[in-house]
Structure 1
Amino acid sequence: MKLRYLLLAFGASAIVHPALAQTSGEEQKPAAKAQVPEKEVFSTGVAKGRDRLDSATSTSAFRASEFEKLGPRPLGDLLRTMPGIRVENGIGEGNANYTVRGLPLAAGGSKYMQFQEDGLPVLEFGDIFNVAVDVYMRPDFNVAAIESIRGGSGSTFSSNAPGGLINLISKTGETRGGAIQTTLGLDYGEKRVDMDYGQPLGDGWRFHVGGYYRVGEGPRDIGFTGYKGGQLRFNVTKQFSNGYVRLHAKWLDDRSPTFAPYPVRITGTNDNPVITNAGNFDIRKDSLLSPFIGPVVTLNGDNKLDRFEVANGMRAISKSIGLEAQFDIGGFTISERMRYAANSGDFLRVFPSNVGTVASIAASQAGAGAVATYASGPNIGNVVPVDANGNGLLAFSYMAQTRARSLDNFTNDIRATRVWKMGQGDLTVTAGLYKANQKLNAQWLHAGIDTDVAGGAQTAMVNVTSASGVAQTQNGYYTFSRNGSRFRRIFDVSYDILAPYGSVNYHVGKLSIGGSVRYDRGRVRGTLIGADLGGGRVGITSFDINGNGVISAPETRVAILPLDQPAPVNYNYGYWSYSSGINYRVAEPFSVFARYSHGARANADKILFTPAVSAVTGGVPDAADKDDGVTQLEGGFKFRKAGVTLNVTAFRATAEDHNVLNGSANQTIRSYRATGVEMEGSYRRGIFSITAGATYTTAKITQDRLDSTLTGKEPRHQPAWTLEATPQIELRRVTLGANIVTITSSYAQDSNLLKMPGFTTVAAFVIVKPVDRVQLMLNATNLFNTTGFFDINQSEVPANGIGWARAINGRTVSASAKLSF
C-alpha cells in the first residue's frame, strides 16, 4: 500500500520525458525519429560502445519511443517483437520462456541468455525453477531502450550468458521533462497509471524517477483482482569533467496471476491436429483460476499447517540499490558497476495433471461407480452432471506454491579500457573483474485438487466419493502433496562467482579485428531438504488438516519435509569463455563480419535433486554436469543508408543441456545443433516506415544421453520461421501502426509426433495528438482474437480427444491518455 500511495502522490506532479536511449557506456541521446542516425552506437556486451557497422556482433536496440506505442505490456510481449529472440509467453507477467537462434527451450525461463538492467544481471541465473528472471523486471517509463546482443562477445562480458544478453537501459534525466499516463482496459480488467520525471539540477547533478501502479482482473476471466502492485525507480547522477557517478534504486512489489496449460479438445492427425475449445471453456480468455478455488492448504517449510490465498498469484518483491561510475584517468577509462538486490516473493501455479470425463476422473480416484459433487461455488453439494459446462470434464490439478524466501543478488563489475595508437590504427585493450553472489532459498509446497472445467471464472472444486460412500477428497483436496512425497523441497544454496576477463581489439582503416576471454570460477555451498534425496528420508505422513480428530483419505497423503536430514551441496566449478571476430567496413554504408565464440552456463538448480549431486557429500563427481557449453559461428553483413537498414547474419550453434522438464522427474542430458539465418531491417520514406525481422532455423538433438530414441529428433517448440514486422504511418497529429508476429509449426514434444500449428498475431495502435503535450492512444493486442499455442502437453493426438495446452491470450483493447511536459 505504501508503494501505491507514493506512486499516486508522485503521479499528481509528474509528467512525460521524451524517449531517450543510452548510446554509450554513459551518455544518452534522443532516439532518432526522421531517419536512422549516421552512427548507431551499441554498448551492451562489448568492451566499448561502437558504431554497429564497425562491430563484429549481431545486435538490436528497441527504443522507448517505439515500444511505448505497443502500450504497457509484459517484458516477454515486447521481446517477442525483436529479431533473433524466441519467446513463449501467455504465462502472465513473468516466467515466460526465452532463447535465441535455435538454442533449445528445454525447460522454462532463460537458460542461455542473461537479463540485465543497466549492464548488471537481475538474477545470475535466468531459469530458476518457478522464479525466472523476468518476474523481477518491468518495462515502464523508466526504460530508455532495450538492447540485445545475440552470440558474439556477450559470453565474455557477462557470466552465464553464452547465448547473448538482454539489457534494459534507464533514462537518466539529461533533459528536463516527464509524463503521466493513465490506461484503462476497455474489454478486460486493468486500471494503470505510469509516470516519470527527470531534469538537470545544476552543477553537474541530474536525476530521474518513475514508476507505475496498476490494479485489475487482467486479460483472462479469473473473477478476482489478480493484478495489483507497481514499481518505483530512481537514479541521480553527478557529472564531472572526466566522468560521472550515478546511484540507482528500485522498489518493486507487484502481483499477477500465472496462467497454465488448460483443457482443450484435440482431434485429427498428428501432422494436422484440430484443436478446439472444451465446451464453454475458451482457451484464449478463460482460466482454471476463480474465486471458488483454493486456498493452497499444505504444510509449510516448518511442517506447520498453512494456507496461501490463490489471489497472491505471482508476487514479486525486489528492493535494490546500485552504484555506477566511469572516469577517464591517465588515458584509461575506468568503469565500476555494483548492485545489491533483495529479492523474494510467493509464486503459485495451478496446472492440470489429469483431465477427463466426470466418470473417468472420479473412477480413477474412488473406483467404479464413484460420485462427484461440487465442493465450492454456487452448486455446492450438487452432483456434477455428465455434461457439466458443455464439456463434461473434471481436472485433477496441482497447486504449486513456491516460496522464494531469498533470491538476493550482489554483483560488482569493474573494468579498465585504454586505446593506444599502434601504427595507423587504434589498439583497444580492456581488463575487468566480475564478482557476484546469488542466493537461492526457496520452498516447494504442493496440494492436489479436483475441479470442473468452467469458463467465465466459474471453475469450482469437486469432491469424489466411492460407490460405498467413502470420501476420497476433503473440500475438493485429493492430496496435500504432489506425486506422493516428490517435489516437497527446500533449497538453501549460495552461488559465489569470480570472473576475470579481458579483450583486445585493433581497428585500422576499414578493418577491425579482436578477441576476448573470460574465466568463470564458481563456489557452490548450501543444503537441500526433501524426501526426493532418498537415504531413508520420509516424505509422507498423516495429518489432521481440518482438525476434526478424524484422519480422512486425503489426510493420509500429506507431504512432510525431513527437516532433520538435510543434504549438503558442496562443489566448485570453472569454465573458459572466448570470442574472436573480424569486421570489414567495405564502404561507409556497408560492412561484413565473422565471429567465433564459445561460452558456458553453470547449471545451478537444474542439477540439484538429481543424481548429478551426491546426497552424501554434496559434490558433483562428473565435471560435465557442472556447466553446459555453447559454441557459435556467425557471419553476415550490415547495410545502412538514407532511411534503409538491413542486417543479415548466418549462424551455426551447438549446445549442451542438463535440465529437468518443468520440475518433473524427466531429467534431460543432451547435445543440440542449430543452423540458420537471422535478418532485421527498416525502411522509412515520407510518412511511412517499417521495421521487420525474420529468423530461419533448423535444429536437431545430436545426442540424448538418457533416451537414445530421441537422438536425431528435432527439439520441441522449434519453429522453422519466426517473423515480425511493424509498419507505421506517421502524420502530424496521428500515428497508425501494427505489430505482426508469425511463428510456424513445431513439434509439441521431442518425440516428433504431434505438431503444434503455427499462428500469426497482430497488435494495432492508433495515437492521436490533439494538442501539443497531450497524446491519446488506442491499443489492441491479438486484434483478430487468434488462437495460438506455445505449449501442448500431449506428445500425440490422445485417444480420448482430451488434452491441455498453453495458449496466447485473446484480444484485449486498452485506451491511454498521456500528458507530457
Structure 2
Amino acid sequence: MNHRLRFALAASCALFALPVHAQDTAKPAPEQAARKASPAEPQAPKQAFTTGVAKGRDLLDSAISASSIDEDQIQKIGTRSIAEVLGNMPGIRAETAGTDGLTAVTIRGLPMAADGSKFLQIQEDGLPVLEFGDIHFASTTAFLRTDLSLSQVQAIRGGSASTFASNSPGGLVNFISKTGEQEGGTLQLSSGLNHELGRADFNYGGRLSKTVRFNLGGFYRQGEGPRATGYDAFKGGQIKLNVTKTFNNGYVRLYAKYLDDREPNYAMVPVAVRGTNADPTYGTIAGFDPRKDTLYSRYRSSLLALDGNNNVTNLDLRQGNRSKVASVGLEAQFDIAGWTFSNRARFAQISGTYNENSSMALLPAAALAPAFAGPGATLRYASGPKTGQTIASPASLNGNGLLMYGLEIHSDLEKLDNFTNDFRGSRVWGVGRGKLTTTAGFYASSQAMVQNLHLLTDVFDIAPGGNSAFVDVIAANGTPVTQGGVLNYGIRGTGAYRRRYDLDYRVFAPYGSVNYQVGALSVGASLRYDFGKVSGTLYGSDLGGTRVGTAPIDMNRDGAISLPERTVAVLPLSQPGAANYSYGYASYSLGVNYRVAEPLSVFARYSRGARATAERIYFSPAVNSASGALTDPAMAYGPVKQAEAGVKFRKDGVTLFATGFWASTSDKNLQIGADATGATVVLQIDRDYSAKGIELEGLFEHGPLSLRLGATYTKAKIDADKADKTLVGNTPRHQPDLIFQATPQFEVKTFTIGTNVIGTTSSFAQDGNLLKQPGYTIVSPFVQVRPVNGIQLGLNVYNVFDKLAFVSVNSAAIPASGVVTAQTLTGRTITASVRFSF
C-alpha cells in the first residue's frame, strides 16, 4: 500500500482509538441534557454554514458566498433530479432533461465544455461522491439521489472551496443526511396523474438509548416515466442508515447506503428549426413531441456488442442509465485538550451502465437508403410488429419521413470504487482582544476507473409513444447493408472509440487555515497542496502504432459474415497503453469580512485553486501511450482564479445577499459538438476562459407569505484557443447572460400554495456563436393540504404551461434540412402525493 495512504489510514485509526468516556446511562437525563453533553456535535444555529469552511458560522460572519435548500423546499420544487435541485441555487448552471445520468453542471461562468461537473465537486455527508465530477459517461449526479432521508443541501461558490476539498476550485455542494435528531417517521406515496410512475419514500429517526440515535430512510420507484418509452424505464431505489453514539466529549457515527436504480437517458431528440441563426424558431416535427417522446422504445430493446474481453454479449438498452452504489462510512469528532479533532472516512463500491441514443445524422427516409446502399435500395423493418415488412412510402413514414442514422453509446462502468478520508484538527486561541482559529488537516483518496466503452451505428425510425423500430437497408440486388438495423459494430469507416480504461487515481492533500476575529472584523487565509499519482492501462486502436481496431466477427452466430460484421470494432488486448504520471499544485484563499452592524456585513476574497485532469486526457497527444507520461506537465491540471466581493443583509424577515465575481481558468478537454449540418463531431480543446458577473439571493418573509429569489448575471468569453483562433472573444456555448429562480408561497397551518419558477435568457448553441439557443421560463406550481395532524396531501405540476424548453441544441447553424437534434426539458408533468407522519 502507498505510504501516504498508510499515513492517512493510521491517522484515521488513531482518532477512532482515542480514549472517550460514555455517558452514565444509569443517570436519568432528558434528551436535551444528552445533547448538551456532546459539545463536539452542537446543534448549529439555523444560519450556520459548515460546508467548505474550517468552522461553521453564521453567513454574516463568513467571507463566503453560500446557499442552502432543505428537504421541505425540494418537495416543493417538484423534481427529484439532482441537477434540477442544484439549478435552484444562485450561481449554479445545471443542464439536465430531468434525470441524473446525463447532466452538466458548472458555476459562475466557468466553462461547460463537456458533461459532468468539472469545476464543482458534489459531496454526500462531507465527502465526494466521486473524486472527479466529469468522468466520461459517469457524472457524479448519476450516483446520488434525493429522498426523505435528506436534511439539506449546502453550496459554497468559490471562496474556501478550493482549499477545503480537492478538485473543487469552482465550489462545493454537500448533500447532508438526517441523523435522527428528530424522533418520528414519515411515509410518502406519490404517483403521476398524467404519466405512469409510482414512488414510495420513507424515513424514520429516533433514539435507541440516551446516547445512541439512528436514522433510516430511502425510496423505491417504478414506471414508464413522464416521457413515452413503451416499458418501465424507471425502476429501483436506495436505502440509507446512520447510527450516532454520543460521548461526553464527542460522537462517532456510522453510515451505510445501498443504491440500485435505473432511469432513462433523455438525450438528444429531433426538433424542427426555421428562420435565421440569430432569430430561429423552434418547434416539433410531425409525429414526435420532445416534451413527451423519447428515442427509447419497446421495439429497440437490445443490441449485440463486445464486452471488455472481445466476447459477444447482448446489450439491454432498456437499462438506460443504471447506477449501483454500496458504501459504508465512519465519522468521528472529539474535543481533546482544547482541540477539536474530526475524521470522515468512506468506502464506496460503485458501478453502472450508460446508454445513450445519439445522432450521426438525421436523413429523409427516401434519401437514406440510396446513401448507404446505392440506387434502387429499399427499407424494411428489422424489429417490432412489422418486422420484415418493406417500407413502401418512406416519404410519409410516421408523418415525418425521417430516419435516424444513429449512434448508440454504451459504456460498462465496471468499477468506480473509491475510498476517501479527511482528518482535521482545529483550535480557537485567545490572541490580544480577538480570537484566532487554526485548522490543519490531511485528505487522502483512491479512485478507480474501469470502463468498457463502445459505440455502434444503426438505423431506426422516429416514432412517438415508445414505438420506434430498427430499420434494415437492402441493396438493389437484395444484399442487406445492415444487420438487425445495425449499420456497423463500431463507427462507420473507423475503429476509433472502442476503448477500455483500467485506471487508478491517488490524491493526497495537506491543508490548513487561520482566521483572526477581533470585534466586527474577521481576516482569514487557507492553503492546500494537492499531489496525485495516476497509474493503469488503456486499450484502443487510436492509441496509435500497429494496433488493429477492427476484425471480422460473426456477431449473431449464424455462420456467415455479413457486411456490418466485416469490420467489428475490437480492443487490441495484447497491446495496452500506459498511464503513469504524478502531479502537484498549491491552492490558496484569502478573505476578509466586516460586520458593519448586526444585520449587515461586507466581505471580499481572492482564491486560486485547480482541478486535476481525469481520463478525458487520454487517447490524445497529451499522453505518451508507451510510457504513460504527459507530453506537457501543465496538462495534469487546470488552474482557476477567482475574486469576489459582496454584501449581506438580514433583518426582520428580509435576507439579501449580493456578490460580484470574476473567474478565469484553462480547460483541456474533449468536447462533443456539432458542425453546421448537425453532424456530431468530437473536438480536442485547449482554451482559456474568463467570466465576470453578479449573484443575487433574497428571502422575504412576512406572516404566511414568503418569496425566495435568486439570479446570476454573467458575461463569459473565450480568451484563447490553440486550435481555432476565430473563437477568441466568443461567448462559450450554452452560457446565458442571466439565470434566475423564484419561489413565492403562502403557508398556514392547514395548507401551502406556491410556485417554483426557473429560467434563463438565450445563449449560443455552439462556440462559433452563430445559432441562438432560446431561453425559457418554467413555472411549476405546488399545493400542500394538511386536513388533520400527520397527513399531508400534495400536488406538483412541473412546467404547467407545457413550455418547449431547450437545454442543448446540437448544431452550429440551421441545417438545410431544417431539423436539428436537441436536449429538452420535460413537458407538463402532474404528480400527486400523500404523506403520513408519525
**Cα distance in 2, alignment partners of residues 245 and 546 from structure 1:** 56
Contact 1:108 1:662 in 2 (8 A): no
Query: Kindly tell me: are residues 188 and 28 of structure 1, through their superposed partners in 2, closer, same or farther at Cα, counting changes over 3 Å?
Result: farther
Match of 1:287 in 2: 294
Q: Alignment partner of 2:490: what SS? A: coil
Deviates more, 1:414-423 or 1:478-487: 478-487
Task: Give the conservation status (yes or no) of the 8 Å contact 2:98–2:826.
Answer: no
Q: 1:449 aligns with which of 452, 455, 458?
A: 458
Return the match for 1:582 from 578, 592, 611: 592
Of 703, 719, 741, 2:720 maps to 703
| Aligned 8 A contact 1:56 1:581 in 2 | yes
State the 1:28 CA deviation.
4.5
Give per-residue Cα distances to partners, 1:294-321, cap 9 Å, x unaligned: 4121111111110011111111110000
Whether 1:658 aligns to 2:668 is yes
Contact in 2 for aligned 1:246/1:324 (Cα 8 Å): yes
SS in 2 for 1:69: helix
TM-aligned CA deviation for residue 532 of structure 1: 1.3
CA shift at 1:382, angstroms?
Answer: 2.6
The aligned counterpart of 1:388 is 397
> Normalising to structure 1: TM-score of the pair?
0.95
Do structure 1's residue 529 and structure 2's residue 546 form an aligned pair? no
Counterpart Cα distance in 2 of 1:91 and 1:71: 11
| 1:693 paired residue number | 710
Aligned equivalents of 2:672, 2:224: Cα separation in 1: 26
Residue 812 (structure 2) pairs with residue 795 (structure 1):
yes
Write the distance in 2 (CA, Å) between the matches of 1:665 and 1:108.
Answer: 13
1:515-526 mapped onto 2 (5 Å cutoff) = 515-526=525-536
1:259 equivalenced with 2:266 (yes/no): yes
Residue 409 of structure 2 corresponds to which residue in structure 1? 400
Residue number in structure 1 paired with 2:16: none
Quote the Cα distance in structure 2 between the aligned partners of 1:553 and 1:612: 36
Instruction: Indicate yes or no: 2:609 matched with 1:599.
Output: yes
1:77 partnered with 2:87: no
- Post-superposition shift, 1:53? 0.2
Distance 1:692 1:239 in 2: 38
Q: Determine if the alignment matches structure 1 residue 505 to structure 2 residue 505.
A: no
Whether 1:410 and 2:427 are equivalent positions in the alignment is no
Q: What is the alpha-carbon distance in structure 2 between the residues aligned to residue 446 and residue 342 of structure 1?
A: 26
Is the aligned partner of 1:106 residue 2:113?
yes
SS at match of 1:387: helix
Is the CA contact (8 Å cut-off) linking 2:185 and 2:203 kept in structure 1?
yes
User: What's the CA shift for 1:62?
Assistant: 0.5
Contact 2:40-2:251 at 8 Å conserved across structures: no
Residue pair 2:375, 2:476 contacting (<8 A) in 1 also: yes
1:342 corresponds to which letter in structure 2? Answer: Q
Cα distance in 2 for partners of 1:352, 1:434 equals 42
Aligned residue runs from structure 1 range 43-62, under 5 A: 43-62=50-69
Q: Does 1:197 align with 2:204?
A: yes
Seen in structure 2, the aligned counterparts of structure 1 residues 251 and 180 have a Cα distance that, compared at 3 Å, is same
Distance 2:40 2:229 in 1: 44
Post-superposition shift, 1:326?
A: 0.5
Cα distance in structure 1, aligned partners of 2:284 and 2:479: 34
Task: For structure 1, list consecutive stretches of 5 or more residues without a partner in the other structure.
Answer: 1-23, 30-36
- Please give the residue correspondences for 1:153-168 in structure 2 after superposition, counting only pairs within 5 Å: 153-168=160-175
Distance in 2 (CA, whole Å) between partners of 1:600 and 1:379 is 55
Once residues 774 and 76 of structure 2 are traced to their aligned partners in structure 1, the CA distance between those partners, rounded to angstroms, is 29
Q: After superposition, what is the alpha-carbon deviation per residue over 1:231-251, rounded to whole angstroms, capped at 9, x for unaligned? A: 000000001111110000000
In structure 2, give the amino acid aligned to 1:176: E
Tell me which moved more, 232-241 or 62-71.
Answer: 62-71
* 2:176 is the alignment partner of 1:176: no
Write the distance in 2 (CA, Å) between the matches of 1:99 and 1:278: 31
Q: Which amino acid aligns with 1:267?
A: R
- Aligned counterparts of 1:185 and 1:563: Cα–Cα separation in 2: 48
Contact 1:28 1:174 in 2 (8 A): no
Q: 1:665 Cα deviation (Å)?
A: 3.5
- CA deviations 1:755-780 (Å, max 9, x no partner) are 00111101111000010010000011
Shift in Å at residue 731 of structure 1? 2.2
Whether the 8 Å CA contact 1:488–1:560 is kept in 2: the answer is yes
Query: Any idea what the Cα deviations from partners look like across 1:702-727, whole Å, max 9, x if unmatched?
Result: 00111111111110000000011000
1:811 maps to 828
- Root-mean-square deviation (CA), in Å? 1.3
Match of 2:754 in 1: 737
Instruction: Give the partner amino acid of 1:442.
Output: Q
Q: Distance in 1 between matches of 2:61 and 2:209?
A: 36
Q: Secondary structure at the match of 1:207?
A: strand
Q: 1:11 is matched with which residue?
A: none
Are the counterparts in 1 of residues 40 and 335 from structure 2 also a CA contact under 8 Å?
Answer: no
Amino acid paired to 2:276: T
Tell me what 2:483 maps to: 474
Contact 1:261 1:352 in 2 (8 A): yes
Q: Counterpart of 1:355? A: 362
Which secondary structure does the structure 1 equivalent of 2:800 belong to? coil
Q: 2:690 aligns with which of 673, 678, 686?
A: 673
2:447 corresponds in structure 1 to 438
Deviation of 1:176 after TM superposition, in Å, equals 0.9
Find the partner of 2:657 among 630, 647, 667: 647
- CA drift at 1:91: 5.7
Which stretches in structure 2 are left out of the alignment for 5+ residues?
1-38, 674-680
SS in 1 for 2:161: helix
Aligned to 2:548: 538
Q: CA deviation at 1:379?
A: 2.4
**Where does residue 9 of structure 2 map in the other structure?**
none
How big is each residue's C-alpha offset from its partner over 1:359-413, in whole Å with a ceiling of 9 and x where there is no partner?
A: 2222221123321111112322233321111110000112111111110010000
Aligned counterpart, 1:15: none
Corresponding residue number in structure 2 for 1:215: 222
How far the C-alpha of 1:457 sits from its partner, in A, is 1.0
Q: Distance in 2 between matches of 1:110 and 1:684?
A: 33
> Out of 54, 69, 88, which is 2:95 matched to?
88
Specify the alignment match of 2:647 in structure 1: 637
Counterpart of 1:246 (choices 240, 253, 262) is 253
* 2:342 maps to 1:339: no
SS in 1 for 2:619: coil
Structure 2: how far apart are the matches of 1:461 and 1:432? 56
Whole-angstrom distance in 1 between the partners of 2:559 and 2:418 = 45
Contact 2:301/2:318 (CA < 8 Å) preserved in 1?
no
Q: Which residue of 2 aligns with 1:20?
A: none
Provide the secondary structure at the position in 1 that maps to 2:371: helix
| 1:310 maps onto 2:317 in alignment | yes
| SS of 2:682 mapped into structure 1 | coil
Q: Percent identity?
A: 48
C-alpha displacement of 1:27: 4.2
Q: Specify the code of the residue in structure 2 equivalent to 1:554.
A: P
Q: Which residue of 2 aligns with 1:459?
A: 468
Q: Is the 8 A contact 1:628 1:655 kept in 2?
A: yes
CA–CA separation in structure 2 for the residues paired with 1:300 and 1:207: 42
- Of 574, 579, 582, 1:564 maps to 574
1:298 touches 1:446 (CA, 8 Å); kept in 2? no
1:4 equivalent in structure 2 = none
Give secondary structure in 2 for the equivalent of 1:469: coil
Q: How many residues align?
A: 790
Distance 1:764 1:510 in 2: 42
| 1:427 and 2:431 correspond | no
| Conservation of the 8 A alpha-carbon contact between 2:460 and 2:468 | yes
1:666 alignment partner, SS class:
strand
Contact kept in structure 2, 1:179 and 1:819, CA below 8 Å:
yes
Of 294, 299, 313, which aligns to 2:306?
Answer: 299
Q: In structure 2, do the counterparts of structure 1 residues 784 and 25 end up closer, same or farther at CA, with 3 Å as the change threshold?
A: farther
2:713 is paired with a residue whose SS is strand
Q: Distance in 2 between matches of 1:369 and 1:310?
A: 32
